[in-house]
Amino acid sequence: MTSELTQVQVSLGDRSYPIFIGAGTFQQVDIASHISGTKVLIVTNETVAPLYLEMLKHQLSEKQVDTVVLADGEQYKNLDTLNLIFDQLIGSHHDRKTTLIALGGGVVGDMTGFAAASYQRGVPFIQIPTTLLAQVDSSVGGKTAVNHAMGKNMIGAFYQPQAVIIDTNTLATLPDREFHAGLAEVIKYGLIVDADFFQWLESNIDNLLQRNEQALAYAIELSCKSKARVVAEDETEQGIRAILNLGHTFGHAIETFQGYKQWIHGEAVAAGMVMAAALSVTVGDLAVEDLHRIKHLLHRCSLPIAPPLDMAVDDFMTLMVRDKKVLDGQLRLVLLKRLGEACVTDQFSIDHLNRVLIDACSPL
Amino acid sequence: MTSELTQVQVSLGDRSYPIFIGAGTFQQVDIASHISGTKVLIVTNETVAPLYLEMLKHQLSEKQVDTVVLADGEQYKNLDTLNLIFDQLIGSHHDRKTTLIALGGGVVGDMTGFAAASYQRGVPFIQIPTTLLAQVDSSVGGKTAVNHAMGKNMIGAFYQPQAVIIDTNTLATLPDREFHAGLAEVIKYGLIVDADFFQWLESNIDNLLQRNEQALAYAIELSCKSKARVVAEDETEQGIRAILNLGHTFGHAIETFQGYKQWIHGEAVAAGMVMAAALSVTVGDLAVEDLHRIKHLLHRCSLPIAPPLDMAVDDFMTLMVRDKKVLDGQLRLVLLKRLGEACVTDQFSIDHLNRVLIDACSPL
């Protein structure tokens, strides 16, 4: 199945790049035209490789193509796995003109991006995200990283790709759980910058859950546009870009608590967004009925709307102070002024936060 | 002992920074004024810590100062050691406003710089180089990296410090072998961009070898000025900056062959510069008498002027094709057009290179 291609531009001066969105972009986009050298290293994982690796290699038949197939899972997003990519690059004599291609979900994209940022102090790379989460979030905007045992995404770089190629056909094979996790990030854009889109999502959630092609392409396009706009304004997260992390400080605490082994990223973010929204209500900004709309929409997507039962208030407190948004010891969070408008703030009392955590961590 | 401070500026737009040079800069420069946040992590090694760590901490008494003391040696410049720095940063809750300080030689500086480049996607750092080699070369210009088992400096970033603070008093305690290795890089600047400086070095080598304070300060200042000029022209080594690597492709092959465990960097570079100069003579550029002057001056500094006896031509060939200056499979080297002028070129035949390697690798 192919459809008309949509192109969204990320405007960052000489680091600008296009995002191609559509059904069948793998066939329609001339991937090789975004590669300047003669060598390519495709990084993918054992789940994605059997599905799309051959198709991609076929597209690049005029290049020297090497591949690294990684184990699948957030628990492998670390310096040890990164080193497997370097092993292959050096072992196969890839030089500074090589191009890395990330074929897979967010983990593959984040690691490949950081490998590209740091191999020989920087080589070009292309993102080909194959999960909804990677398509609407991690493949766009140049955040690359690996995790540290003590914290998520602690080691990385801001490093922009040459192009992002999103083929919505890849979503047909995506397991429900991952698909739903991706919807959490789609919903996030409605919450932080686009109330109309949130309302559209409420109206079209059945279509999306049935993976209707038109609905998906529209949701991805609007998500990428929102992200591109925010990133163009603040590439290295000096300020406004942090709103893209709505729910992530809570969510990262959940993922770290579980050692990245239970909930997947979008699930943790869903619960985290509910907690951020609850805090926004507590400080007097968000209307309580909007909190209910958010919970309802996330619940429709089979996403968690409360933290794991075994997490206590103290677990959150301990883990959240390690967050990257902590500045000189002051915890800052992304909260909602209203539906469709977010801000980064430290204007909440520990008492407010405590109340929300106690509520959230109480067994029903 | 204190003397007048010299300041050299590295001009890189909003990434510009000062280099302070003199005897007693530790006392004279207000280091804290180059630190914006409240937290500092000093990275040093077990050799340097007993000498200067307390003095530096005293200078920073109004900050929260944590320290990491690494094992000393090039063989520890790898991802595992880098992770020790991240452990300390995360364990002590350092956030995006922390400043890293590299107190030590090139290994400490390169690793600390890369840790700063990649911790939370980038935090500020300051270089306080305590070896001659680090003072005239690695602390200036923003090249940061760690080694990979299969190649030197393969993983890193271009990332500029906030300031470089060079206290020539630290050279008093430097072992002869390291001091001589530093002189190799000083001599390099004469070879690549400044024939007058080369001649000054020939005339003043006795003073330098006796570590005369004035001679040292002058040699360091001229070295830093040369480096700053080249770096300002080509920060990320798209072209001219590569001349700073005279002798390094040969030298890296030597270091990799020895597993970084025998010759130190400046020694390998000295032998490498002789090989590059010999090739420059072979292709018909450099005068043979200038090759002899180069060998003589390096020899005066007790530096090797031929590769290790156990290295063969094939060892060089195998290891050199992994060099970062290989582009799309074509080996490029830094050669001398004449004394004081270098170029990056692939204009030499394999036959030329072979002849030089055979000559160099023959037992005398």
Residue A158's closest chain B neighbor by CA? B121
Yes or no, beta carbons of B145 and A327 under 8 Å apart: no
Please give the radius of gyration of chain A, using alpha carbons only, rounded to the nearest integer. Answer: 20
- Over range A26-42, report the average pLDDT: 94
Say if residue A304's pLDDT is above 80.
yes
Q: Which fold has domain A229-361?
A: Dehydroquinate synthase-like, alpha domain (1.20.1090)
Say how many CB pairs under 8 Å bridge A and B. Answer: 109
Question: What pLDDT, in 10s, does the model give residues A191-207?
Answer: 999 999 999 999 999 99
Say if residue A149's pLDDT is above 90.
no
Q: Active-site residue A83, yes or no? A: no
Residue indicated by tokens 């330098």: B208
Q: What per-residue confidence (pLDDT) applies to A330? A: 78
Calculate how close chain A gets to B127, using CA atoms only, in Å: 19
Q: Active-site residue A121, yes or no? A: yes
Report residue B288 CA to chain centroid gap.
28
Any idea which of A320-324, A339-343, B142-146, B151-155 has the lowest mean pLDDT? A320-324
Q: Active-site residue A227, yes or no? A: yes
SS3 labels along A97-142? CCEEEEEECHHHHHHHHHHHHHECCCCCEEEEECCHHHHHHHCCCC
Q: Which of A235, A237, A255, A267 is catalytic?
A: A237
Please give the sequence-ordered ranges of beta strands (E in DSSP) within B130-254, or none if there are none.
Answer: 143-148, 151-158, 163-167
CB B153 within 8 A of CB B145: yes
Where, residue-wise, is CATH 3.40.50.1970 in chain B?
6-173
- For residue B143, the chain A residues in CB contact (below 8 A) are 121
Would you name the residues of B annotated as active-site residues? 121, 143, 185, 227, 237, 241, 245, 248, 252, 265
For B90, the closest of A93, A148, A327 (CB atoms) is A148
Q: What per-residue confidence (pLDDT) applies to B338? A: 98
Where, residue-wise, is CATH 1.20.1090.10 in chain B?
176-361
Distance between CA A247 and CA B121 in Å, rounded?
20
Q: What per-residue confidence (pLDDT) applies to A150? A: 83
Report residue A68 CA to chain centroid gap.
22
Q: Which fold has domain B6-173?
A: Rossmann fold (3.40.50)
Nearest CA to A153 out of A49, A66, A268 is that of: A268
Q: Which residue stretches of chain B have pLDDT < 50? A: none
Residue B306, number of CB atoms within 10 A of its CB = 18
CB A209 within 8 A of CB A10: no
Q: Active-site residue A237, yes or no? A: yes
Yes or no, beta carbons of B154 and A329 under 8 Å apart: no
For A150, the closest of B39, B90, B150 (CB atoms) is B90
Q: What per-residue confidence (pLDDT) applies to A152? A: 83
For A86, the closest of B86, B87, B154 (CB atoms) is B154
Q: How far apart are the first and last CA of chain B?
A: 45
Calculate how close chain B gets to A11, using CA atoms only, in Å: 20
Say if residue A326's pLDDT is above 80.
no
Say if residue A188's pLDDT is above 70.
yes
At the top level of CATH, the class of B176-361 is: mainly alpha
Q: What per-residue confidence (pLDDT) applies to A151? A: 83
Yes or no, beta carbons of B158 and A121 under 8 Å apart: yes
Q: What per-residue confidence (pLDDT) applies to A328? A: 64
For B150, the closest of A91, A148, A150 (CB atoms) is A91
Q: What per-residue confidence (pLDDT) applies to A26? A: 87
Where, residue-wise, is CATH 1.20.1090.10 in chain A?
229-361
Question: What pLDDT, in 10s, does the model give residues A240-295?
Answer: 999 999 999 999 999 989 987 899 999 999 999 999 999 999 999 999 999 999 99
Say if residue A329's pLDDT is above 70.
no
ipTM over cut 0.85: yes
Q: What per-residue confidence (pLDDT) applies to A2? A: 66
CB B24 within 8 A of CB B49: no
Distance between CA B157 and CA B144 in Å, rounded?
5
CB B361 within 8 A of CB B316: yes
Distances (CA, A) of B26 to B10, B59, B163: 20, 8, 13
Q: What per-residue confidence (pLDDT) applies to B260? A: 79
